[in-house]
A and B are shown apart, each in its own frame.
Chain A
C-alpha cells in the first residue's frame, strides 16, 4: 500500500521538474502545421489583382454548400481580376464549413486558400458568414504571376492574319 503511494508520488514529483506539455492558450499560441486548414483567405496576384474570377467551382465542390459566389462582369477600364468576370459577392458560412479544402483543390487560380487562422467563434449565426471584404487579403499582400491561361485572356486582339492573295 505504501509502496504504491510512493510509486505514484514519484511520478508526480518527476513531472514537477519537467517542462509542462500544455500551453497557456490565449496568451500562448502553438504554431500549426504548414498544411493546417483554417480560415480561408482570398488571395491576390503580385500586381494586386484579385485571383478570384468568380467561376463558382469552389461552391460546386463544397460538400457542405457553405460558399456563395455571385459573379459579375468586369469593368474593362478597372478590372478587378484577369478576364471578363469577377466575384461581386463571395461568402463563406463558417458554421457550415467543414474545412475540407475541396474549394482550394477546385480553384483554377489558387484564389482561395485555407490558412492558419483557427480562432473562429461567433456570438450569432449571422456573424458566421464571412464576406468577400473579410476574406480578401490586402492589396499589397499579393503573390505570384498569373498563369499563361489567364494572361492570354487579357491579350489584345491579334493582328489580322496575313493572307497571300
Chain B
C-alpha cells in the first residue's frame, strides 16, 4: 500500500495508507489511549477512549485540489466532532490532534464514566499492577470522581463463566475484547452479551460453559480485572512475580511461555511473544497444565527396590547400583540385552546424552522414544527431511500460501495451530482441510474434503497423479530417486477409481492440486489420523509436496504433528533403534520399541531403562515384560505404574527445573530456562545419564573399535537415502559436561542440521517485539507482559537442503489388511486426554470420560445408545466400556481416547488402526 503523510500533534510523518489513526500515531511515537481496540482484531470503537480531533485538507469542489491559504499551506477542515481513532483510517494530509483541550475533556469524561460503577478494589484485584484501566486513569483520567461510593451499582461477584474463567461484572467495561477474541480468532463463539443498559453483561453461551481451548487468552487481553483465571485468583500480586522464560512441552507447537514464580512457587503461566510460534497466545493446556511440577506425588528421592517395597537411597547408592547392574548385564550378555526408552518430552540435551550412553557406553542400539504400543506407527522421518525450513514464519504468510491439513485435528493435537492457521486464512491463505471426520479447524477452511474410511491413501495418490500429469516432474529440483517408478505406478492407476475409493470428486482433487500449484508457498500439515494410515501415506504426502515444488524453501514443506513436546528433537537426536543423530540410518539396527516388550518377555532384553514413559499403564505386554526383566531403571517425575515395577527409581527434574532446548514441529529449536530449584533431590535427566555413564566408563571397557567402525558404515542408500558420514577420528568418550550448554555445544558440533544452535545463539530475539513492558507499552494496548527478551529460537534448515540427502519417491505398496472384522478402531487424540502431566491442574476436571466413541449409523445398526455398555473385540483382545454415540464420526470407525484410566486401549490394538467388531453388552 502506498504511504500517506499525516500530521499528529504537529509532527509530520508517513505511514501506510489504510492504517487506523491509533496505529498510525503510534508509528510516530504518539500514544492514543485505547481499551477496546486490539491490533490482532478488527476495531469496533466501543469504548470511546481513543477520541481524537481529525482534520482533512479542504478540497476545492470544482478542481478536487486542496485549497491553499495565503502562506501556500493547505487549509485544514477539522471535522465538527471528535472521531474514534481506532475506526478512522488515515488519509493523505490528515491532521490529528490528540492533546487539545477538547480531546482531553473527552478522555477525562470517558474515564469518569467507566469508573462510575468500578468498585475501585485495586488492592484486591488480580489485575492490579498491570491494569490498563489503572494506567490510563493515571495518565489521562480525571483526578477526582464526582460519583459517590454509595451510588455505585453492585453486582453479584464473581460470576463463573466456566471452570477456568471468572467474571467480575463490576469491573467489566464491556469492551468486548473477550467476545471478539472468541468469535474471530479462536472461532469458539462461546461468549456473548446479555441484557441492556446498566445490566449489560458478558455471558457464556455454550454448554459446558466457556468451552474453548483458548479461554485463558481472554484474561490477558481483558483491559481491566473483569476476567481472571481460577488458576491465579488471589495467588499473588503481579509485581512479586519473576517471569522465567520457558517452553511448553505439552504439545509439538513449542509455545514460548513464562513461568511466573514467587520465590520457588509457580504462580501462573503466561505467553511470551514469539511471532513465529505462538504470537501472543497460549492455549489453556499450556497455561493451566503446568501444575504437575509442584504436585505432591512428585518423586523426591532415589528409591531402590527391596523385595516388594522401595527404600529411599542416596544418589550415590542408586547411581552406582544402576551402573553395576547395567555393566553386569552388558558383560554377561552384551549390549543387546539392554534397552532404553526416553520420552519425547525430554529436552534435546537429555535425548542426545541418552543415545550416547546407550550407543557409546553400553554398546546398544535398542533405544527409542516411542512407547512401544501398537499405536506408535513408524518413525516420522519425512517431517524432518522436508520440514518447513530456515526462515519460516507462519505469521507472515497470507495470500499466495496454500496450507493442506491432512488427517489432523490441530485443535486437539497442537491447539495453537488452530489460531495460527486461522490467522493465515484470515490474511488470505488458502486453507484446505482433508479429514476423515469433521474438525474444528474445518470451519475456517476454503475447501474441506471428507475422504472415505481407508480412502486417504487413494486421495493422496490421486493428488500425486494429478500433479504428475500437470508437470510435477519439472518442479522437482531436489535430489530424488524413484520418480520413474512412481510415475509408472501412479499413471497405471485410474483417476476415477482413485477418486471413488477416496470418496472425493475429481473436481475437488483438481481444486486442491491447482491451489497447491498456484500458490507461492505450500505447507502440508498432517497429524495422528494421517500417521495411523502408515508410512506409505506420509511418503505420498511428501511426494505431493515435492511434486508441487513446495519443498526446500522457507515456508514450504511438511509439518508433522507428533505426540509429545519434543518428538522431532528425539528423531533429530537419533533416539531410535535404526538411526544415529541426524537421520543417518544404521546398518546394525537395534530392537525398536514396538518389538521391545516381546523381546524382553522372551529374555532377549534383560535390562531396561525407561525415562519419562509410562508403558505399564497402558500396555499389558509392557507390564509383563517389565516384570520379567532382570533389572529395570525408571527415571520419572511421579510414581507411575511403570515405576512401581522398577528396581531403581530415579527422580527427574521437570521442564521448569532445568535448562534445555526443545525442537518443535516446524523444527525450531528453542531454549527453556530454569525457573525453580529441582523438586526434592531430583536431578535433570541429562545429568543422571552422565552420572551413570561416568560410573560405567570406569567399570566397562567399551568395544571402541566396534563403535568406531559403525559410523562410516552408517546406512548407505538404506531406504533410498544415502548419507556420507565423514570418517571422523573417534575421540575418546568424554563425560564431563558441566552445564546443558556444554551438551548443546556438542550437539551443534556433531548433529547434522544443528550447526550454530548454541545457547548464545538461541538468546537472540530478532526484531524487538511489538508488545510488552517497553516504554509506554503497558499503557498502550494492555498491561500483560508479553515481552520476549530471552530468545525466539532458531529454525533449522530442512534436512533435504544439506545437499547430500536424497528423497525417495519409490512407491510402496499399500498395506493389506487381512482381518475381516467390520470396524476400524483408532485412538482419538485429545488435548485433555490421559496426559499424566495434567495432574494437579484445573484441567483435570475436563479430562474426557473413558468411553468408546461410536458413529451414529453404527450405533443405530446395533441399537446402541450413549451410556450403553459395549464390547470391542479385536484379534488380540477385548475391551468393554460405556458407549458414546456421536454424529460426526463416519460409519465404520470407532474411536477411543488413549491413556485414560480404566480403558486400556493397548490391550486390543494390533496397530494404529485395528480391525474390531462391536458388541452391545446386555446387562
B844-870: which residues lie under 8 A (CB-CB) from chain A?
Answer: none
Interface residues of B in 137-155 (CB under 8 A from A): 149-150, 152-155
**Could you tell me the distance in whole angstroms from the C-beta of A77 to the nearest C-beta in chain B?**
15
User: CA of A55 to CA of B152 in the docked complex: distance in angstroms?
Assistant: 22
- A148–B124 touching, CB < 8 Å: no
Could you tell me the distance in whole angstroms from the C-beta of A162 to the nearest C-beta in chain B? 10
Query: Which of A36-44, A91-99, A150-158 contacts the other chain?
Result: A150-158
The interface residues of chain B lying within 8 Å CB-to-CB of A148 are 149-150
Closest chain-A Cβ to B174's Cβ sits at a distance in Å of: 14
Contact of A152 with B150 in the complex, beta carbons under 8 Å: yes
The answer to whether A56 and B234 touch (CB under 8 A), given A83-B121, A157-B156, A161-B199, is no
Q: Distance in Å from the Cβ of A149 to the closest Cβ of chain B?
A: 6
A33 CB to nearest chain B CB (Å): 30
B240 closest partner in A (C-beta): A56
A53 near B234: Cβ-Cβ < 8 Å: no
**Distance of A153 Cα from B234 Cα, bound (Å):** 16
* Distance in angstroms between the alpha carbons of A156 and B120 in the assembled complex: 16
Q: Which residue of B152, B155, B234 contacts A73 across the interface (Cβ within 8 Å)?
A: B234
Contacts of B156 in A (CB 8 A): 157
* B154 and A56 contacting across the interface, CB-CB below 8 Å: no
CB contact between A157 and one of B120, B123, B128, B155 (< 8 Å): that residue: B155
Chain B contacts for A161, CB-based, 8 A: 153, 197-199
Residue among B152, B197, B234 having the largest count of chain A Cβ atoms under 10 Å: B234
Task: Give A152 to B124 CA distance when docked, in angstroms.
Answer: 14
Query: How does the 8 Å CB contact mask read for B806-840 relative to A, with 1 for contact and 0 for none?
Result: 00000000000000000000000000000000000
Q: Chain B contacts of A59 at CB under 8 A?
A: 240
- Of B158, B199, B236, which is within 8 A of A71 by CB? B236
Tell me whether B124 and A84 are in contact (CB under 8 A).
yes
Is B488 among interface residues, defined by CB-CB distance under 8 A? no
User: B134 → chain A, closest Cβ, in Å?
Assistant: 13
A153 to B239, CA, bound (A): 24
Cβ-based interface call for A134 (8 A): no
Also in contact, A83 and B124, with CB within 8 A (given A148-B150, A149-B149, A158-B154): yes
Is A32 on the interface with B (CB-CB < 8 A)?
no
Q: Which residues from chain B contact A72 at a C-beta distance below 8 Å?
A: 234
Closest to A109 in B: B123
Q: Does A116 contact B (CB under 8 A)?
A: no
Nearest CB in chain A: distance from B471 CB, A: 66
Map CB proximity to B onto A62-100 as digits: 1 under 8 Å, 0 otherwise.
000000001111000000000111000000000000000
B196 within 8 A of A: yes
Q: Answer whether residue B235 sits at the interface, using C-beta atoms and an 8 A cutoff.
A: yes
Say whether A163 faces chain B, with CB atoms less than 8 Å apart: yes
Q: How far is the CB of B869 from chain A (nearest CB, A)?
A: 41
Q: Is B233 an interface residue (CB 8 A)?
A: yes
- Which chain B residues border A152 with CB–CB below 8 Å? 119, 149-150, 152, 154
Known: A56-B240, A161-B198. A153 touches B155 (CB 8 A): no
- A160 interfacial contact with B, CB 8 Å: yes
B196→A163 contact, CB < 8 A: yes
Mask, A123-165, CB within 8 Å of B = 1, is 0000000000000000000000000110111011110110100
- Residues of chain B with a CB closer than 8 A to A54's CB: 124, 234
Decide yes or no whether A57 CB sits under 8 A from chain B. Answer: yes
Asked if A60 is at the interface (CB within 8 A of a chain B CB), the reply is: yes
**Chain A 104-117 interface 0/1 with B at a Cβ cutoff of 8 Å (1 = within):** 00001000000000
- Please tell me if B721 contacts chain A, counting CB pairs below 8 Å: no
Contact A156 B154 (CB under 8 A): yes
Answer whether residue B237 sits at the interface, using C-beta atoms and an 8 A cutoff.
Answer: yes
A93, B155: Cα distance in complex, Å: 39
Question: Are B199 and A55 interface neighbours, CB within 8 A?
Answer: no
Nearest-CB distance from A106 to chain B (Å)?
Answer: 10
Q: What range describes how many residues of B lie at the interface?
A: 20 to 34
CB of A42 to closest CB in B, whole Å = 15
**Is B119 touching A55 in the complex (CB atoms < 8 A)?**
no
Q: Given the complex of chains A and B, what is the CA–CA distance between A83 and B157 in angstroms? A: 10
Task: Please provide the chain B residues from 178 to 234 with a CB less than 8 Å away from any CB of chain A in the complex.
Answer: 196-199, 233-234
Interface residues of B in 155-174 (CB under 8 A from A): 155-158
Would you give the shortest CB distance from B267 to chain A, in whole angstroms?
11
CA–CA, A56 to B124, complex, Å?
A: 9
Nearest chain-B residue to A154 (Cβ)?
Answer: B154
How far, in angstroms, from A71 to B240 measured CA to CA in the complex? 12
Q: In the bound complex, what is the Cα–Cα distance between A56 and B235 (angstroms)? A: 11
| Residue from B150, B199, B234, B239 within 8 A of A160 (CB atoms) | B199
Q: How far is the CA of A71 from the CA of B128 in the complex (A)?
A: 14
A25 to B153 alpha-carbon distance, docked (Å): 58
CB <8 Å contact, B121 and A153: yes
Q: How far is the CB of A43 from chain B (nearest CB, A)?
A: 16
Complex CA gap A59/B123 in Å reads 12
State in angstroms the CA–CA spacing of A71 and B126 once bound together. 11
CB contacts (< 8 Å) of A53 on chain B: these are: 123-124
Within 8 A of A (CB), among B99-157: 119-121, 123-124, 128, 149-150, 152-157
Name which residue of chain B comes closest to A108, CB basis. Answer: B123
Task: Tell me the complex Cα distance, A53–B122, Å.
Answer: 11
Partner of A60, one of B121, B154, B155, B239: B239
Chain A residues within 8 Å of B196, by CB:
163
Please, how many angstroms separate the alpha-carbon atoms of A153 and B152 in the complex? 10
Q: How far is the CB of A75 from chain B (nearest CB, A)?
A: 12
Q: How far is the CB of B444 from chain A (nearest CB, A)?
A: 38
**Contact of A71 with B234 in the complex, beta carbons under 8 Å:** yes
A84 / chain B contacts, CB cutoff of 8 Å: 124, 157-158, 234
Residues of A within 8 A of B235 (CB): 71
Closest CB in chain A relative to B796 CB, distance in Å:
43
Q: Is the pair A149, B234 in contact by a Cβ cutoff of 8 Å?
A: no
A65 to chain B, nearest CB (A): 10
A158 touches B155 (CB 8 A): yes
- The CA-CA distance from A72 to B124 in the complex, in Å, is 10
* B197 surroundings in chain A (CB, below 8 A): 161, 163
Name the CB-closest residue of B to A84: B124
Give Cα distance in the complex from A25 to B123, angstroms: 42
Min CB distance A73 to B, Å, is 5
8 chain-A/chain-B pairs, Cβ below 8 angstroms: A60-B237, A71-B234, A72-B234, A73-B234, A151-B149, A153-B119, A155-B154, A157-B155
- Beyond A53-B124, A160-B199, A161-B153, 5 additional contacts (C-beta under 8 Å) are A60-B240, A84-B124, A84-B158, A161-B199, A163-B197
- 6 nearest A-B residue pairs (beta carbon): A55-B123, A161-B198, A85-B124, A148-B149, A56-B237, A158-B153
Q: Footprint of A on B, CB under 8 Å?
A: 119-121, 123-124, 128, 149-150, 152-158, 196-199, 233-237, 239-240
